[in-house]
Amino acid sequence: MKSIVFSLLMFAGLSISLTQAQTTFPINGVQDKDAAVYAFTHATVHVDAQTIYEDATLLVKEGRIIGVGTDVSVPKGAIVTDLKGKHIYPSLIDAFSTYGVEQPKKEGKDSPGPVYDSEKKGAYAWNDALNPEASAAEKFTPDAKKAEELRKAGFGATVSLIRDGIARGTSAFVLTGDGSANENLLQPNVAANYSFSKGTSNQNYPSSQMGAIALLRQTYLDAGWYANLNDNTKEMNLGLEAWNGIQQLPQVFDAPDLLSIFRADKVGDEFGKQYVFLGNGTEYRRIDAVKKTGGSFIVPLKFPDALDVEDPFDAQLASYTELLHWELAPTNPKALKDAGVPFALTMEGLEKEAEFWPALRKAMENGLDSVTALEALTTVPAKMLGLKEVGTLHKGNLANFLITSEDLFNEKNTILEHWLKGKQYKISEAAGDSINAYYSLKMGGKSWPFELTGTSDKPSAKLAKNDTTKLDVSFNLKDELVTISFAEEKDAKGKYRLTGRKDGKNFKEKAKHLMARG
């Protein structure tokens, strides 16, 4: 029998650990830094798509993984969670997103006539479709509601960008956690971004894809010329300065169709650039040509809806191309895998986060294997875009991981918890787990048997005053806060009320115990 120990305190003490990571922002209130070691035991740990440990332990401290494997010793005083029958996976990464970054909106022109000059203030590029100085990191603001939906879908981080213009500046790698931008920004300046769309620019030029290609090529030439000018004689061009400053980053090209991908690839070949392409779901149509680009792809899982062909007239309107795409679109990820084209998966194009898993499972029903799928959501985007300390559960990496009830790709699976930098976010309860646990409540020199029954989502409690009398106990568990109240006598005027933090993540195992303050 375990013990529930309560310390009745008049004042709350404050302890500050000097070993914690330093912060550059003052905290308005009590600084609560969690220096505890968390041990997740008896789990199936998917360190990466290729490395799986059965009945393993994962150790976390101060937001990082400090140990993982089957022979890991649990330190004394660690907060232990028994995850027998459950799985731990690396948190997922969306390689192409606008999460947390407000997108520019096109403003109307002041005059109906053509616009030839830049409307941008400052010594920047002459065309408003060129924004290489734009920084998603500078614009990033966490969105609590959106972040929660992303976490529920398993995505703990995104590569977010400003999706505007032919040159779009740099993207940022951010977490989908609560808190400030400073806490959730992991990497600024992750990749340089391009497209053939001039976006919100009001200038007349370019007015076609041909013009966009010409402007992109001209800017490469101008930037090369500008870099070789004598500093004492050249005019200042902050746009070209920024352009030259981001050429060593991964280069990402947003192309709306296959022909645009091939045209962009030719521009890249001309100037010695290998793009990472945002795919469009039709790569299977010309998979050999796609492979010859040499590029990696970020692939959406937006599949076409089934065409309505019940009415003969509607059936006549359905083209062969549309019917064929409806049939073959879900095979696109497998076609890329079979051709040896590296690719990451993205939620780009989906209207709601909840659409992601049905779409992914549809791709898996059409040949995509689970190893490739997990790699496309973890290690591939990390390698493709140079993302650090994420994508796997190796020692030293950030403690970004999922706790699931089943295999992640099982249709019956539920994501139970999502941890980001060692911070827990509850997603779902493992409903139906029965509780049959007995403890000893020790308080003020007295000791009573304490019984928990019911289920993990609806626990109930009894307190045995003696061999024949059991007291009803109000037992409430919300998030990590435990509240227990009871009266020692039926007609007593006062009640004991005890509150504290749950130590452990469920009550199914008798080895769990509670630590609380009253």
Tell me, what DSSP letter sits at residue 434?
A: B
pLDDT at 32 (0 to 100): 57
β-sheet with 343-346: strand ranges across: 167-170, 192-195, 251-254, 275-278, 296-300, 343-346
Pick 64 or 485 by higher pLDDT. 64
Helices and strands in the chain, H and E counts: 13, 26
CA-CA-CA-CA dihedral for 99, 393, 48, 141, to nearest 10: 0
Query: DSSP labels for 240-302?
Result: HHHHHHTTTS-EEEE-SSHHHHHHHHHHHHHTT--EEEE--S-GGGGHHHHHHT--EEEEE--
pLDDT at 33 (0 to 100): 64
The ranges assigned to domains in the chain are 92-104+115-387, 437-517
pLDDT at 440 (0 to 100): 76
Amino acid at 122: G
CA angle 295, 296, 302 (to 5 degrees): 125
CB 399 within 8 Å of CB 74: no
pLDDT at 370 (0 to 100): 97
Query: DSSP labels for 90-108?
Result: EPEEEEEE-TTBPPP-PPP
414-449 pLDDT, tens digit each: 999 999 999 999 998 765 555 666 777 777 677 778
Residue with tokens 């060593």: 248
- What mean pLDDT comes out for the span 21-41? 72
**Is residue 40 predicted with pLDDT exceeding 60?**
yes
Give the whole-number percent of the chain exceeding pLDDT 70. 84
Q: Which two tokens stand for residue 260?
A: 């645009």
Pick 331 or 479 by higher pLDDT. 331
pLDDT at 491 (0 to 100): 67
pLDDT at 295 (0 to 100): 97
**Is residue 10 predicted with pLDDT exceeding 60?**
no
CB 402 within 8 Å of CB 391: no
Pick 28 or 237 by higher pLDDT. 237
Architecture of the domain made up of 92-104+115-387: Alpha-Beta Barrel (3.20)
307-336 pLDDT, tens digit each: 777 777 777 777 888 888 889 999 999 999
Give the whole-number percent of the chain exceeding pLDDT 90. 66
**Is residue 2 predicted with pLDDT exceeding 60?**
no
Instruction: Label residue 60 exposed, middle or buried (CB < 10 Å: 0-12, 13-18, 19+).
Output: buried
Q: Which two tokens stand for residue 193?
A: 């971004």
442-469 pLDDT, tens digit each: 776 777 787 877 766 677 788 776 766 7
Residue 160's region, left for phi above 0, alpha for psi from -120 to 50, else beta, is beta
Determine how many CB atoms are found less than 10 A away from the CB of residue 483.
14
In 384-420, which positions are buried (b, 16+ CB within 10 angstroms) versus exposed (e)?
Answer: bbebeebbbbeeebbbbbbbbbeebbeeeeebbbbbb
Task: Please give the C-alpha separations between residue 28 and each of 85, 316, 481, in angstroms, as whole numbers.
Answer: 42, 67, 23
Instruction: Label residue 303 exposed, middle or buried (CB < 10 Å: 0-12, 13-18, 19+).
Output: buried
Backbone angles phi, psi at 173, to 5 degrees: -100, 120
Query: How far is 239 from 126, CA to CA, in rounded Å?
Result: 8
**What's the chain's Rg over C-alpha atoms?**
28
195-231 pLDDT, tens digit each: 999 999 999 999 999 999 999 999 999 999 999 887 7
Query: DSSP labels for 346-370?
Result: E-TT-SSGGGHHHHHHHHHHTT--H
